[in-house]
A and B are shown apart, each in its own frame.
Chain A
Amino acid sequence: MAKISKSENSENVLEINDLTVRLPKGADRENAIMDVSITIGRGEIVCIVGESGSGKSVTAQTVMGLNPPDQLSPTAGSVHLNDESILGVSQDRLRQLRGERMAMIFQEPMTALNPVMTVGDQIEEMLEIHTTFSASERREKVLEVMEDVNLPDPKKMADSYPHQLSGGQRQRIMIAIALALEPGLLIADEPTTALDVTTQAQILDLIKDIQVRHGTAVMFITHDFGVVAEIADRVVVMRNGRVVEQGTVDHVLSKSKEPYTRMLISSVPSLTPPKREPIIKGDPILQTRALDKIYGSLGLFGKGRVVHAASQVELEVRRGETLGVVGESGSGKSTVARCIVRLVDPNGGEILIDGNNIAGLSQKGIRSFRKDVQIVFQDPYRSLNPRRTVGQSIVEGPMNFNVGKVEALERARELMRVVGLSPDALDRFPHQFSGGQRQRICIARALAMEPEILIADEAVSALDVSVQAQVLELLDQVRKDFDLAVLFITHDLRVAAQICDRIMVMKLGEVVEQGPTASVYADPQHEYTKLLLDAAPGRDVDFSGAASI
């Protein structure tokens, strides 16, 4: 990549040249980022893409001056904001620049906002610190920026507290705070990752809209190539603290020659389901009939809040078949899974495993069915007891059912091979494995029970895209090899398209549509399904095509 010197292009809002930031001693590599050069011009959206640990967030935080100075200090290179060098400027100047010239929005809008201040006051605080506006001028400006980020009824909403707003509204408030002083540079660190897909689409539209209207330069950090395709003008791909390549979005997404970029892009699951043989033989091994789960109670005086997390859910899965349950947060998809594993007790309906209803069984009665249904959770870092070796975790289940220790360990070694790990790693502790490896261990633990039904509850959602592809492949492989019925719960339509034979769409606890994957994707019947498919970022870009150059 060519370095652009400062004088050549004065239109650049941000110029990062050969920036190197050292990690504290004892970390897994010497530098958090090395020789990073990025420029962002006025009105340009530059996406920084990379997997976890690529240094993309460190880059953003160095620009904002948010890194703890004793731990992550820049050792070489320069950062210029509107031709002003901002490495090593005083904290006072930095405070001034933050807000007036650059602003940042974060992934989790709930924790980034103060829960005990109204959102209007939080926007106003920005103006109070940086401007000499009078109280009435500030109020006016607050309503103006709230309108600018398309919040409905700003007058009323300004007096709300963060918990009274939806996730999307909170993120809009964050953007309003960031834009209150019309900074030239907006840094967005995974701003839509915690949001539902329909909300994400709206926030992406908003950021694009603002960039057009105000000419703001946007540094957009993401791991999601769908989002990149939606929003980016230029793309910077980072890996292990270095810039792998940068270029226009078309170039990077479809003409890249870099093997790493192509590997990343080819790992993005396609929205077009591949051809799969329909499973029709045999009776369903897992069935639910009119499954109901209500959270909360009426309270002492009948005024409590009640949430119908699942109502009248009907599903069936056959051996060797994968049923995908998709929906946004609060749709009840995880509740269904937890009811089937009986981690929560359903309020009504039947759960049939091979014809036996387990919905009403006591914790004692359920025990003999525990072998049949196993679950893999979302968070690989919390699914394994950190104090026990992975071997102990895997043999725990079989030993509960009177399998001898020697035999259980032998099976555990075999399963480690099945999930693609070395059997010798059984003596290690979970913290010695990466997220993807831990998810493999969780699959091995589930398989050790020799289950009939495997439930994957967002099992690949926390993983990097390249690791995600491998774990998906593994899940599909064990389904085939062990003839499992798989209930695959996800919010990600791309992932669901790749692995599921049939799809069930849930919204607010109810099943709105169910059918073979290919037909649901090609011809969605329900309005909500159409909405979800439309909102999937980068749906017009065929990533698999790019990879096969």
Chain B
Amino acid sequence: MTTEAIQTDLTEETEARSRPSAWSRLSQNLSARIGGGLLLLIALIGLFASFLTTLDPTEINPSNRLKSPGHEASIRDDEGKKHKVTAHMGTDSLGRDIYSRVVYGSRISLVVGIAVALISVLAGTLIGLVAGYFRWVDAIVMRIMDGLMAIPAILLAISLVSLSGASLFAVIFAISIPEIPRVVRLVRSIVLTIREEPYVEAAISVGTPTPKILWRHVLPNTISPLIVQGTFICGSAILLEAILSFLGVGIPPETPTWGNIMAEGRDFFQIHPHAIFFPAIFLSLTVLAINMLGDGMRDTLDPRMDRNI
């Protein structure tokens, strides 16, 4: 074959092999569109919470306790003027506006979900890369991970929170730890397959130092599956945070979180179910949205799910 001949079939192949980008395939995916849209809506609610509510979510109002949704009350502001306000979702046993608390609660949920996903993915990737590439580290690290995975996530999180005292950071930390082994296992399995690829061996034989091999040749292969795994971790972290708050071992009870609202409403559930209903609906929708987005991403990003390959 002459150089010219090589040139021509080079261009032919270029045209033949182009395929739609990951982003355009993702935007075609129904599950990802619904999940992403819903999540965007909840994120906007959290972001603009102060514009959507008129009442301070932590303000206690003893005269307005346990009101039903739609109750109208008049309150005095700082300048002494009277205002008519509507409690769209009723009030709780301390007279706090549940609507405001639910809207502000979305902030905590999303912050916890995203922070846990980021922390556990970053830490898990680092540990997984090292464990997958160095065999002697692998033996030790994976036994620790097995040990962590043997403890139920909630139990582990409760004991971690109780070690450091209840605060937002403690909760994020406590939920991240049980999620790390899942990421480590995923990354390690990818590293184990990729390190056998001839292109990694070629990199070894041209003298590329190990950290560079991990960064250049191994790490990029983990990104798509990690984005997918990250969304699922985000969803489960939001649930876990709500459970911790509901059990009274999470974020301090005066902070508006969905779990705290439900915990507060538990005692009066039979007469005032709305105190649990509304946060529960928001919680389910958020987790559903995240999982749908994750499913959509898995179908489009994760090459192992691609039936065409």
Interface of A toward B, CB cutoff 8 Å: 26-28, 341, 343, 367, 370-371, 373-375, 377-379, 382-385, 387-388, 393, 396-397, 400-401, 420-422, 425, 428, 431-434, 436-437, 442, 445, 448-449, 467, 470
Q: Is B207 in contact with A470, judged by CB distance below 8 angstroms? A: no
Q: Is A343 in contact with B204, judged by CB distance below 8 angstroms? A: yes
Q: Known: A422-B7, A433-B10. Is A367-B207 also a contact (CB below 8 A)?
A: yes
Identify which of B12-20, B86-94, B235-243 touches chain A. Answer: B12-20
CA–CA, A28 and B14, complex, Å? 10
List the A side residues contacting B220 at CB < 8 Å. Answer: 387
Q: Which of B14, B16, B203 contacts A27 (CB 8 A)?
A: B16
List the A side residues contacting B16 at CB < 8 Å. Answer: 26-28
Interface presence of B9 (CB below 8 A): yes
Q: Is B206 in contact with A382, judged by CB distance below 8 angstroms? A: no
Chain B residue nearest to A401 in the complex (CB): B207
Q: Is A397 in contact with B13, judged by CB distance below 8 angstroms? A: no
Q: Which residues of chain B from 1 to 30 have any CB-CB distance to chain A below 8 Å in the complex? A: 1, 3, 6-7, 9-10, 12-14, 16-17
How does the 8 Å CB contact mask read for B113-126 relative to A, with 1 for contact and 0 for none? 00000000000000
CA–CA, A318 and B14, complex, Å? 41
Q: Which of A378, A388, A400 contacts B209 (CB 8 A)?
A: A400
CA–CA, A437 and B3, complex, Å? 11
Q: Which residues of chain B from 228 to 262 have any CB-CB distance to chain A below 8 Å in the complex? A: none
Q: Is A420 in contact with B10, judged by CB distance below 8 angstroms? A: no
Interface presence of B65 (CB below 8 A): no
Q: Which of the four size classes fits the interface of chain B?
A: 20 to 34
Q: Which of B6, B199, B206 contacts A437 (CB 8 A)?
A: B6
How does the 8 Å CB contact mask read for B202-213 relative to A, with 1 for contact and 0 for none? 111111110010
CA–CA, A375 and B205, complex, Å? 7
- Smallest Cβ distance from A421 to chain B, in angstroms? 6
List the A side residues contacting B13 at CB < 8 Å. Answer: 28, 432-434
Q: Is B199 in contact with A382, judged by CB distance below 8 angstroms? A: yes
Q: Is B14 in contact with A370, judged by CB distance below 8 angstroms? A: no
What are 17 A-B residue pairs whose CB atoms fall within 8 Å in the complex?
A343-B204, A375-B205, A377-B201, A377-B202, A382-B197, A393-B202, A396-B216, A397-B206, A420-B6, A421-B3, A425-B10, A432-B14, A432-B17, A436-B1, A437-B6, A449-B207, A470-B1
Q: Which of B202, B204, B216 contacts A445 (CB 8 A)?
A: B202
- Smallest Cβ distance from B146 to chain A, in angstroms? 19
Q: Which of B199, B205, B216 contacts A341 (CB 8 A)?
A: B205
List the B side residues contacting A374 at CB < 8 Å. Answer: 205-206
Query: Could you count the A-B residue pairs with CB atoms below 8 Å apart for me: how many are there?
Result: 86
Interface presence of B217 (CB below 8 A): yes
Q: Known: A28-B13, A388-B216. Is A400-B206 also a contact (CB below 8 A)?
A: yes
List the A side residues contacting B7 at CB < 8 Å. Answer: 422
Chain B residue nearest to A436 in the complex (CB): B1
Q: Known: A379-B198, A383-B199, A385-B199. Is A434-B205 also a contact (CB below 8 A)?
A: no
Chain A residue nearest to B11 in the complex (CB): A432
Q: Which of A374, A377, A382, A385 has the most chain B CB atoms inside 10 A of its CB?
A: A385
Chain B residue nearest to A422 in the complex (CB): B7
List the B side residues contacting A470 at CB < 8 Å. Answer: 1
Chain B residue nearest to A430 in the complex (CB): B199
Q: Known: A27-B16, A420-B6, A433-B10. Is A371-B207 also a contact (CB below 8 A)?
A: yes
Chain A residue nearest to B196 in the complex (CB): A382
Q: Which of A373, A387, A432, A442 contacts B202 (CB 8 A)?
A: A442
Q: Which of B3, B17, B197, B216 contacts A420 (CB 8 A)?
A: B3
Q: Which residues of chain B from 35 to 87 have any CB-CB distance to chain A below 8 Å in the complex? A: none
Q: Is B203 in contact with A396, judged by CB distance below 8 angstroms? A: yes
List the B side residues contacting A425 at CB < 8 Å. Answer: 10
- Smallest Cβ distance from A376 to chain B, in angstroms? 9
- Smallest Cβ distance from A75 to chain B, in angstroms? 20
Chain A residue nearest to B10 in the complex (CB): A425
- Smallest Cβ distance from B15 to chain A, in angstroms? 8
List the A side residues contacting B9 at CB < 8 Å. Answer: 434
- Smallest Cβ distance from B1 to chain A, in angstroms? 6
Chain B residue nearest to A370 in the complex (CB): B207
Q: Which of A393, A396, A421, A445 has the most chain B CB atoms inside 10 A of its CB?
A: A396
List the B side residues contacting A375 at CB < 8 Å. Answer: 201-202, 205
- Smallest Cβ distance from B135 to chain A, in angstroms? 12
List the B side residues contacting A400 at CB < 8 Å. Answer: 206-209, 212
CA–CA, A385 and B198, complex, Å? 9
List the A side residues contacting B208 at CB < 8 Å. Answer: 396-397, 400
Q: Which of B201, B206, B216 has the most chain A CB atoms inside 10 A of its CB?
A: B206
Chain A residue nearest to B206 in the complex (CB): A397
CA–CA, A437 and B8, complex, Å? 12
List the B side residues contacting A437 at CB < 8 Å. Answer: 6, 10
CA–CA, A421 and B9, complex, Å? 11
Chain B residue nearest to A385 in the complex (CB): B199
Chain A residue nearest to B3 in the complex (CB): A420
List the B side residues contacting A371 at CB < 8 Å. Answer: 207
List the B side residues contacting A384 at CB < 8 Å. Answer: 199, 202
CA–CA, A382 and B220, complex, Å? 15
Q: Which of A373, A378, A382, A431 contacts B205 (CB 8 A)?
A: A373
List the A side residues contacting B216 at CB < 8 Å. Answer: 385, 388, 396
List the A side residues contacting B3 at CB < 8 Å. Answer: 420-422
With A28-B13, A432-B17 already in contact, 9 other A-B pairs whose C-beta atoms are closer than 8 Å: A379-B198, A382-B198, A384-B202, A387-B220, A396-B216, A420-B1, A422-B7, A449-B206, A470-B1
Chain A residue nearest to B194 in the complex (CB): A385
Chain A residue nearest to B13 in the complex (CB): A432
Chain B residue nearest to A382 in the complex (CB): B198
CA–CA, A387 and B203, complex, Å? 14
- Smallest Cβ distance from B295 to chain A, in angstroms? 24
List the B side residues contacting A448 at CB < 8 Å. Answer: 206
List the A side residues contacting B6 at CB < 8 Å. Answer: 420-422, 437
Q: Is B206 in contact with A445, judged by CB distance below 8 angstroms? A: yes
Q: Is A422 in contact with B10, judged by CB distance below 8 angstroms? A: yes
Q: Is B206 in contact with A370, judged by CB distance below 8 angstroms? A: yes
Q: Which of B197, B203, B205 has the most chain A CB atoms inside 10 A of its CB?
A: B205
- Smallest Cβ distance from A351 to chain B, in angstroms? 14
- Smallest Cβ distance from B276 to chain A, in angstroms? 49
Chain B residue nearest to A374 in the complex (CB): B205
Closest 5 CB pairs of A and B: A397-B206, A370-B207, A28-B16, A377-B198, A383-B198
